[in-house]
Amino acid sequence: MPAPKSYCEFVWNTDPGNVHRHYHDHEYGFPINDDNDLFARLVLEINQAGLSWTTILNKKENFFKAYDNFDIARVARYTEKKFEKLMQDAGIVRNCLKIEAAIENAKRIKDNPKGIWLIQKLARQKPSAYARGVDKNCSRNIPIYGGRNSE
């Protein structure tokens, strides 16, 4: 069978219970106008970097549970203890850089009076640009934007 020419074509060739079916029919391409929903999409896309979207869709419910339904105000208040709890949660992607990016982005979004407009601007840009700089040791001191040398 030839490779599908679009995501829609791919989805229609999957089983009805496939995670891509629900995503395609209820989320893919639909506008998002809620701050927390946009934040959720940003975090899920950051976590997808280097993985398949299928992996993220299979873990999506776990992500919502682990990140308090992506409530920006709550995520912005996460402590080191919560960070460590997320690092131990096998239901999500346990990457320290991605977890730190989610927490730091929540803080920056919460502190910005433009709210949803900032999130929409971020969502239109490459989400991986908002993950912390590459750091094999997961240093807790690297700024969210620009990596090691941006201070």
Do 73 and 117 lie in one domain? The reply is yes
If one counts the domains in the chain, the total is 2
Measure the CA–CA gap between 118 and 113, rounded to whole angstroms: 9
Query: Would you tell me how many other CB atoms lie within 10 Å of the CB of residue 61?
Result: 10
Catalytic site positions: 23, 45, 53
What's the CATH code of the domain at 39? 1.10.340.30
Q: Distances in Å between the alpha carbon of 102 and those of 14, 15, 18, 26, 47?
A: 31, 32, 27, 24, 9
- Supply the range of the domain harboring residue 54: 32-150
In the chain, the largest separation of any two C-alpha atoms, in whole Å, equals: 52
Do 66 and 17 lie in one domain? The reply is no
**Crossing angle for the helix pair 53-66 and 19-26, to the nearest 10 degrees:** 70
Do 26 and 81 lie in one domain? The reply is no
User: pLDDT tens track of the chain, all 151 residues?
Assistant: 788 888 888 888 899 899 999 998 888 888 887 889 989 999 999 999 999 999 999 999 999 999 999 999 999 999 999 999 999 999 999 999 999 999 999 998 888 767 656 566 655 554 444 443 434 444 444 333 333 333 3
Do 128 and 78 lie in one domain? The reply is yes
